Copies of this chain bind each other. A is one copy, B any other.
Amino acid sequence: MNRDDEHAVVLLSGGLDSATCLAMARAQGLVCHALTVDYGQRHQAEMQAAARLAVSLGAAQHRVVRVDLAGMGGSALTDAGIDVPEQPGTGVPVTYVPARNTVMLSIALAWAEVLDARHIFIGVNAVDYSGYPDCRPAFIEQFERLAALATSAATEQGHTVRIQAPLIALTKAEIIRQGSALGVDYAATVTCYQADADGQACGRCDACRLRRQGFAEAGVSDATRYAADAG
């Protein structure tokens, strides 16, 4: 497949899911523009991972846009006063960031219009993150409808944008299997909610547990770099 003339904005956090998503977009033959939205999250190691992954996975360019949601509070991921939990809870996790995917897709949409990109890829997953409303198919579909009304490219020229969420119905093991087949180097991805400055994982938080379990179920050896005192 060769679609050299078709462009995509791919949201890339530096984690396992979004790296796989970028590899899938590239496998569709699309010219990929990687976008990292830095919403003031604590795990800066993930940001550095994103920059390296953009290069290794063949993105045409990588841009970081900072949005200062941190000061708003309301999430353990952006508010230093809330601890990241080590045990899964019920309902919406405290690691939920208010309206995060709405904000990230909006910025992706702005860039897509400038680039005349007709695809936005987002690595949301409704299986592992069932507590997050903005990871569900209905949300993604509704955003696509909004995008068709939101930009001059769409309303004046009929250049609508498709929101692609290829991981949405996959288990973590399936994501890892597909990414491995596409050559994703998972050692370069950072998933841990509290990775150290070097990108080494704690091995204890929800994200680490889900990831470790995914590699085990996928039958793929886990190349994650864990800290010396990891759980």
Contacts and interface: CB of A to CB of B under 8 A. Distances in A.
Interface of A: 63, 65-69, 71-74, 91-92, 96-103, 105-107, 109-111, 113-114, 131-134, 136, 138-139, 142-143, 145-147, 149-152, 154-156
Tell me if A's interface is mostly helix, strand, loop or mixed.
helix
Contact of A72 (B73, B99, B110): B110
Given A63-B71, A107-B67, A145-B142, A150 B113 contact: no
A102 B98 contact: no
A102 B91 contact: no
Contacts of A109: 98-99, 102
A159 B73 CA distance: 18
Contacts of A147: 102
Given A72-B111, A103-B107, A113-B74, A146 B143 contact: yes
Query: Can you tell how many copies of this chain the complex includes?
Result: 2
A150 B139 contact: yes
A82 to B, nearest CB: 12
Contact of A102 (B71, B73, B110, B145): B110
30 contacts: A65-B67, A65-B69, A67-B67, A69-B107, A72-B110, A73-B114, A74-B113, A97-B110, A98-B110, A98-B114, A98-B152, A99-B107, A99-B151, A101-B150, A102-B147, A102-B150, A103-B106, A103-B110, A131-B152, A132-B152, A133-B150, A138-B149, A139-B146, A142-B142, A142-B145, A142-B146, A142-B149, A145-B145, A145-B146, A146-B146
